[in-house]
Amino acid sequence: MPVENSADRAVFFDINDFGEVAVINGANINGIFDNDYSEFLDIAGTTPTFNCASLDLTAITPTVARGTTAIISGTSYTIENIKNDNTGLTILELTEA
């Protein structure tokens, strides 16, 4: 029996609590948006990411790929990297478009 399932994970992406909606290829995907400030070797900036359920991404047509646009809270981002963590969650690394 799995430790958690998709219903368990969905609690974290509830837009009434922690979650936000990203519009990707016309589909609404619930997830958690993060835009942390980071600094490395005197280079500073933000690192926007969107964490969501992997199943939600695989249901989108056309397929979500690098270069796809995601709109979060009215701001357009380009998906630069897709990291599936093999636990049912995916992290989208973004840059502001």
pTM of the model: 0.86
Residue 27 has pLDDT above 50, yes or no: yes
Q: Give me 76's structure tokens.
A: 């357009």
Residue 1 has pLDDT above 50, yes or no: no
Dihedrals φ, ψ of 8, to 5°? -65, -45
> What would the pLDDT profile of 29-48 be if each residue is shown by its tens digit?
999 999 988 888 888 888 89
Secondary structure tally for the chain: helices H, strands E = 2, 6
Q: What is the percentage of the chain residues whose pLDDT exceeds 70?
A: 96
Bridge partner list, 77: 70, 96
> What would the pLDDT profile of 63-86 be if each residue is shown by its tens digit?
999 999 999 999 999 999 999 988
* Predicted local confidence at residue 50, as pLDDT: 97
All domains of the chain, ordered by start, with CATH?
6-96 (2.40.10)
Bridge partner list, 50: 33, 92
88 DSSP assignment? S
Residue 3 has pLDDT above 70, yes or no: no
